[in-house]
Each structure stands twice: as structure tokens, then as C-alpha cells.
């Protein structure tokens, strides 16, 4: 696109540098991080809580950026488009670029949402699709009002598949993000208590996730979890919009289902059944709950024309879903399972069950747990449930970290049957010192918390210490 075309797309005012003119081209990365800039890139100067992107316009120019989208003119040798809201301009540019690529090529667009499993599912799907043609999918969990458009803006003229992970920080957010791409396929994985505090309860969360189904283009496909009644109810919305439904799940009515699921220390084995045909799958990603994510990926891929046999074969090459998501660290002597990038009551429960399932007789189960964020008024009760579950799954040691998780610790010691079963530390450093002396050969250690608790770095330290 030219500078003039970008200016029209974002609805701003163009201030040219001394060497540019309106028809000068821009054709590089678009990002809010000046460290990602290179020749021809577009830097979006987003004001932030900690710092202000306008402070880095000069650095972006030095790195070769061709354009800065700003909310005020900055003294730097680079053409600038002044807009009222840089994040809104980023979204408008993403919408324009996706529309152009779609009109001129073979681009097919997938949107994925759900209370849990979004990042794992998009990674599994991206692995399947990359062998079919050029595929764009988010880095890490780029699923908010900045990360989603940044991902969309990575599409090129030859991109065949765009996989967008859509998160919700508030009601209406998924609708806004999905409107930028009008998905051909919208997949809803589950409705749970993740972020329920920000929505006012699980009913409001269900309504927010339904926004993706409402955004799928007429004639498109909604891929829905047949095992989750709140997701299954979205089929009625799909029908109203002329959107077909493909079901995945463990039950007999799913179009793509899993049978004979077995959890092992090296992954999960199951049989995927599609149209009466059976396909053995050995998924190296730890955790029974990831079977549902694999089913969703296979279902989406099938809608896009990928055979089940090919999809399954490609899934078997995936070693981990993402860093800090059920990531095996340490060694066979002391195995650390670092799953502390995110946490909700559902994912916390699933992780605790998984480590309990893969721990052999004579080995100890150790849970290193921090707070689950964004649960609102349900936070206390849900932390209680986790503490009780850890005890009832017979974890020999329960290490709780941080004042926000203290209810979890109190519930564990209340339910526990002997002294010392659960311990509490204010900081991860204190917990690391304790665990370095406490852990022994044969221990299987789960490190699990929300991102805000920072325990993923504790998991990395433990993994290195016991490698």
C-alpha cells in the first residue's frame, strides 16, 4: 500500500518526511513494538500504562520503519499519520489489509475463541495447515485488541489461511475483533469461568463467546463443542445466520469424536472417529484435556479440506502446545510440568488430574500453585475448590505462593490429613529455596497459576535446577 492508501484506511492526517511522497510504498511488518521494525515497516505508537509508544518513534525510524501511526506528531525523520486513537487505527488497517488479500487471493479465515484452549488449538491447527499452504497464526497468545490485528496484518498476497485467536476482555470485544475479518469458520471451544469476574458471571461469558458465531459469514461454518451445553446452544444462533455447524467432542453425536483416551507420561493416546473411520492418535502434548483441542483442530481442518489422516499425522509431530503450557522440564529424575502461563478453575482442575494420572506408584505428586485471576466474586470459592481437589487427588506436597492464593492454602490444610502436606510462601523466591531442598528423585511437579502470578518463571528455574 502507498502512504496515501494507508492514510485513507486509518482515517488520519498524513505528515510526510522530507524524502517521501504520498505514493511512497510501505510493505513491511506492522507492530506496536519498535524492536520488531525493519525496512519498510509501520510502527504504531500506542500509549500504554507503563510507557508511551511515541517515545520510540525515533528508534523505529532508525531501524528502517517507513511510517509511524501516531496520536501526535513526533520530531523524528519518518512520515507520520496522525489519528485520534492509534489502537483503533491499527484495527482499521488490519481490516483493510485482510479484505484486500481476501479479494485478490484464496485466503480463508478462521476465528477461535473459548474460555480455555484457544492458544493450544490455534497452534495445533496452524501445524496442520502449514503443510497445505502459507499460514498466518498468532505468536503466543496474541488475541486482544492489539495482538489480534497485529497478527492479521501479517497476511500477504499468497496467504491461504489466517488463524485468529480472539480473546475477550469485556462484552463486545470478540464482536469487534471478529468484524475485522468476518470469519469463514468460527470455533468455540468451551464456556467456563475464565475471566468471569470481568463479565459478571458465566452466563455473560457465554453471551460474549456467542459473538464469534454471530460474526461468521453467511454460508460459513461454526465448529462447536458438543459436550458443552453452553456452546451447543450456539447452534441456534448459527442456524439463524445461515451458518452450518460441525460438532466435535467425546460423545457419540459429535461429527469428530475421540474414543479410548489414555493419558501417559509421554502424552495422550486416543482414537479419532470421523464418519465411521477410526484414526489412532498419539498426541505428545501432555494432558487429557488437550484431546478436545486436537478434536477442534481436526474438525476445522476438515472443513478446510484437509483429510483426517493427514491432520492426525501432523498433530503427532507437535511436541508442546506452547511454552509454559503443560511444558515438560527437568529430567526423568524430577519432572517439572510448567503450566503457569494461564489458569482458570477448569484448566487448574485438568492440570491437577493430568499430573496425578501420569505419576507412577512410588513417585510423589507435588503441586506448586498460585492465584487464578479475573474470577471476581467467585474467586474465593474457586480457590477453595482447587485446594480441596489437590488434597483429594492425594498430592503429597502442595506449595501455595502469593497472598491472592491464600484461600487455596487454607482450604488444603483444612482438608488435609497430616501436618506439612501444604505450605505457603509469599514469594516465588522463598518457594524456590524450599523446593530445591524438598524435591527428590521420582517427584512429578505441577507449576500452575495465572500469568499475573509469575510462576512460569519459577517453573523455568526449577526445570533448569533439576535438568
The half-sphere exposure of 285 on its side-chain side, counting CA atoms within 13 A, is 28
Chain Cα centroid distance, residue 269? 23
Find out whether 120 is annotated in a ligand binding site.
yes
- Contact predicate 356/393, CB 8 Å: yes
Nearest to 239 by CA among 211, 219, 253, 225: 219
User: Which residues have a Cβ under 8 Å from the Cβ of 255 and sit 6 or more positions away?
Assistant: 246, 247, 248, 274, 275, 299
Find out whether 116 is annotated in a ligand binding site.
yes
Find out whether 442 is annotated in a ligand binding site.
no
Cβ-based neighbour number of residue 239 at 10 Å: 12
- Cα dihedral angle (352, 354, 355, 357), rounded to 10 degrees? 120
d(CA 174, CA 41): 27
DSSP sequence for 248-282: EESSTT-SEEEEEEEEETTEEEEEEEETTEEEEEE
User: Which residues have a Cβ under 8 Å from the Cβ of 75 and sit 6 or more positions away?
Assistant: none
Find out whether 416 is annotated in a ligand binding site.
no
DSSP sequence for 279-326: EEEEE-SS-TTHHHHHHHHHHHHHHTT--HHHHHHHHTT---SBTTBS
User: Which residues have a Cβ under 8 Å from the Cβ of 100 and sit 6 or more positions away?
Assistant: none
Give the strand pairing for 256-264 and 267-274: antiparallel
User: Which residues have a Cβ under 8 Å from the Cβ of 71 and sit 6 or more positions away?
Assistant: 45, 47, 54, 82, 83, 84, 85, 86
Find out whether 299 is annotated in a ligand binding site.
no
Query: Annotated binding residues, as ranges?
Result: 114-120
Query: Annotated binding residues for ATP, as ranges?
Result: 114-120
Amino acid at each position: 500500500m502507498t502512504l496515501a492508501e494507508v492514510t485513507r484506511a486509518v482515517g488520519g492526517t498524513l505528515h510526510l518526511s522530507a524524502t517521501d511522497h504520498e505514493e511512497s510504498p510501505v510493505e513491511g511488518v506492522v507492530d506496536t513494538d519498535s524492536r520488531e521494525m525493519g525496512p519498510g515497516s509501520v510502527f504504531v505508537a500506542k500509549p500504554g500504562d507503563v510507557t508511551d509508544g511515541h517515545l520510540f518513534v525515533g528508534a523505529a525510524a532508525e531501524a528502517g520503519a517507513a511510517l509511524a501511526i501516531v496520536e501526535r506528531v513526533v520530531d523524528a525523520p519518518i512520515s507520520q499519520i496522525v489519528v485520534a486513537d492509534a489502537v483503533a487505527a491499527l484495527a482499521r488497517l488490519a481490516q483493510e489489509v485482510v479484505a484486500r488479500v481476501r479479494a485478490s487471493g484464496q485466503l480463508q479465515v478462521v476465528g477461535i475463541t473459548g474460555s480455555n484452549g484457544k492458544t493450544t488449538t490455534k497452534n495445533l491447527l496452524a501445524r496442520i495447515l502449514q503443510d497445505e499452504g502459507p499460514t498466518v497464526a498468532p505468536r503466543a497468545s496474541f488475541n486482544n485488541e492489539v495482538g489480534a490485528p497485529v497478527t492479521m496484518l501479517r497476511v500477504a498476497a499468497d496467504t491461504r489461511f489466517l488463524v485468529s485467536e480472539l480473546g475477550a476482555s469485556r462484552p463486545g470485544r470478540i464482536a469487534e475483533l471478529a468484524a475485522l475479518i468476518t470469519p469463514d469458520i468460527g470455533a468455540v471451544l468451551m464456556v467456563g469461568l475464565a475471566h468471569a469476574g470481568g463479565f459478571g458471571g458465566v452466563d455473560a461469558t457465554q453471551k460474549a463467546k456467542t459473538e464469534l458465531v454471530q460474526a461468521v459469514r453467511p454460508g460459513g461454518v461454526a465448529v462447536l463443542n458438543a459436550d458443552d451445553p453452553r456452546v451447543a446452544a450456539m447452534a441456534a444462533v448459527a442456524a439463524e445466520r445461515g451458518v452450518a455447524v460441525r460438532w466435535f467432542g467425546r460423545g457419540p453425536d459429535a461429527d469428530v469424536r475421540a474414543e479410548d483416551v489414555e493419558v501417559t507420561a509421554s502424552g495422550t493416546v486416543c482414537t479419532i472417529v470421523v464418519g465411521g473411520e477410526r484414526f489412532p492418535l498419539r498426541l505428545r502434548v501432555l494432558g487429557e484435556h488437550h484431546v478436545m483441542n486436537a478434536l477442534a483442530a481436526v474438525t476445522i481442518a476438515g472443513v478446510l479440506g484437509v483429510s483426517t489422516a493427514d491432520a492426525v499425522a501432523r498433530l503427532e509431530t507437535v511436541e508442546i502446545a506452547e511454552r509454559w503450557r503443560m511444558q515438560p522440564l527437568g529430567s526423568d529424575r524430577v519432572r517439572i510440568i510448567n503450566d503457569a502461563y494461564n489458569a482458570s478453575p477448569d484448566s487448574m482442575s485438568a492440570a491437577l488430574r493430568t499430573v496425578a494420572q501420569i505419576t507412577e506408584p512410588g513417585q510423589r505428586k507435588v503441586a506448586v500453585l498460585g492465584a487464578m485471576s479475573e474470577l471476581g466474586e467467585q474467586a474465593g470459592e474457586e480457590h477453595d475448590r482447587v485446594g480441596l481437589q489437590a488434597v483429594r487427588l492425594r498430592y503429597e506436597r502442595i506449595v501455595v505462593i502469593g497472598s491472592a492464593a491464600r484461600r487455596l492454602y487454607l482450604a488444603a490444610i483444612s482438608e488435609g490429613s497430616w501436618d506439612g502436606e501444604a505450605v505457603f510462601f509469599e514469594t516465588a523466591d522463598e518457594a524456590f529455596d524450599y523446593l530445591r531442598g524438598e524435591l527428590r528423585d521420582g517427584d512429578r511437579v505441577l507449576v500452575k497459576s495465572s500469568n499475573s502470578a509469575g510462576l512460569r518463571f519459577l517453573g523455568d528455574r526449577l526445570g533448569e535446577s533439576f535438568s
